[in-house]
């Protein structure tokens, strides 16, 4: 297959700006090869050889258009795993135990949920923690990538991924789908509602009164001012007493008048004041 020429600096800057304006993600100079390869692969599928020509086609259509949906999926980093940062999940477990009162519904939100490992981890944790309490729970899981969400909804994972869980958890929450693949049980899948949300457009989403907002490994791709803006929007969506759990080191000097930091060196989390 014939390889495409290198993107020139002007073309690179155009693609960088388009991606950052529409998704918030910054592709730095060091990741130019990644951008070029991902865009180039898509162009070859379309039989195109001119970056400018493809760029013009992409911007002709709104961000909801099919081509943009496909391209965003190629350009986002979707790496994830079950219980990726154990200490953060421990924090959520403690919070759920404290919140559990009979008849209450606890709402959790996985922001930037990728292919589903994170929201299903939250669902397993909530089920373990709340099953005997008379508490109900629901998980909302959102991402910008439509193909990642489609995969997440199916809840089918490779044996290698499921092996990272304890034997008891794997046996309790997964069934064999086909050789080498396991599916999350329907009872747990039913607790998770997946939907497409761009975190740059949180104003359009109706989620409020969240008891847990879990947002990890998403903000790291954004500029610092944008990370803070998004956290401000997420803070508004918390219920009084709810927690916002971010990845360690993903934001350094952010604070919000209605939130107080959770004292725990192993995690980065904030709790909404009850009177806030
Ligand atoms: C590295 S994954 C993190 C997955 C999971 N949160 C974790 O920590 O394992 C980052 C996810 O953020 C999503 N993403 C990137 N930009 C986004 C945006 N503007 N709005 C919503 N999701 C976005 C990507 O599609 C990707 O699935």
Q: Where in the chain is the domain with CATH 1.10.155.10?
A: 9-75
First to last CA, the chain: 60
Ligand 1 proximity of 198 Cβ (cutoff 6 Å): yes
Residue nearest to atom 11 of ligand 1 (CA): 112
Is any atom of ligand 1 closer than 6 Å to the C-beta of 267?
Answer: no
CA–CA separation, 117 vs 170, rounded Å? 13
Taking the model in full, what pTM does it have?
Answer: 0.96
Query: What's the gap in Å between 103 CA and the centre of ligand 1?
Result: 33
- Phi/psi at 82 (5° precision): -70, 140
From the CA of 176, how far away is ligand 1's center (Å)? 28
Residue ranges of the chain assigned to CATH 3.40.50.150: 86-272
Say yes or no: CB of residue 259 within 6 Å of ligand 1. Answer: no
Distance 264 CA to ligand 1 centre (A): 25
Mutate to test the pocket of ligand 1, among 112, 198, 203, 231 (most ligand atoms within 8 A of CB): 112
Non-local CB neighbours of 47 within 8 Å, separated by 6+ positions:
none
Which residue is closest in CA terms to ligand 1's atom 17? Answer: 144
Cβ of 172 less than 6 Å from ligand 1? no
What gap in Å lies between CA 163 and CA 165, rounded to an integer? 5
Q: What is the mean pLDDT of each run of 10 residues along the chain (276 residues)?
A: 82 96 95 94 92 92 86 94 98 97 95 98 98 96 97 98 97 96 98 97 94 98 97 98 97 96 97 85
CA of 134 to the centre of ligand 1 (A): 33
Does any ligand 1 atom lie closer than 6 A to the CB of residue 88?
Answer: no
Which atom of ligand 1 approaches the CA of 115 most closely? 27
List, in sequence order, every beta strand (DSSP E) within the chain: 105-111, 136-143, 156-158, 174-178, 181-184, 192-196, 210-215, 238-246, 259-261, 268-272
Does the CB atom of residue 143 touch ligand 1 within 6 A? yes
Architecture per CATH, 86-272: 3-Layer(aba) Sandwich (3.40)
Quick one: fold of 9-75? Answer: Chemotaxis Receptor Methyltransferase Cher; domain 1 (1.10.155)
Nearest alpha carbon, ligand 1 atom 13: 112
């Amino acid at each position: 297959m014939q390889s495409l020429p290198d993107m020139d600096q002007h073309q690179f800057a155009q693609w960088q700006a388009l991606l950052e304006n529409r998704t918030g993600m910054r592709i730095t100079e060091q990741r130019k090869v990644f951008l070029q390869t991902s865009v180039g692969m898509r162009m070859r599928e379309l039989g195109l050889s001119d970056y400018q020509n493809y760029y013009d086609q992409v911007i002709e259509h709104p961000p909801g258009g099919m081509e943009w949906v496909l391209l965003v999926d190629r350009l986002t980093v979707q790496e994830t795993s079950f219980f990726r940062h154990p200490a953060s999940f421990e924090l959520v477990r403690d919070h759920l135990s404290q919140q559990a009162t009979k008849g209450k519904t606890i709402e959790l939100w996985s922001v930037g949920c990728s292919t589903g490992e994170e929201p299903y981890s939250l669902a397993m944790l909530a089920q373990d923690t709340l099953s005997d309490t008379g508490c109900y729970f629901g998980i909302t899981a959102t991402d910008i990538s439509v193909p990642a969400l489609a995969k997440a909804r199916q809840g089918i994972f490779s044996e290698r991924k499921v092996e990272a869980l304890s034997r008891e958890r794997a046996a309790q929450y997964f069934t064999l789908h086909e050789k080498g693949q396991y599916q999350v049980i329907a009872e747990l899948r039913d607790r998770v509602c997946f939907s497409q949300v761009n975190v740059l457009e949180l104003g359009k989403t109706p989620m409020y009164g969240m008891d847990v907002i879990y947002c990890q490994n998403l903000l790291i791709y954004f500029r610092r001012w944008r990370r803070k803006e998004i956290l401000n929007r997420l803070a508004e969506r918390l219920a009084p007493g709810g927690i916002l759990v971010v990845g360690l080191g993903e934001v350094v000097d952010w604070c919000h008048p209605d939130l107080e930091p959770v004292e725990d060196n192993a995690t980065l989390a904030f709790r909404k004041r009850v009177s806030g």
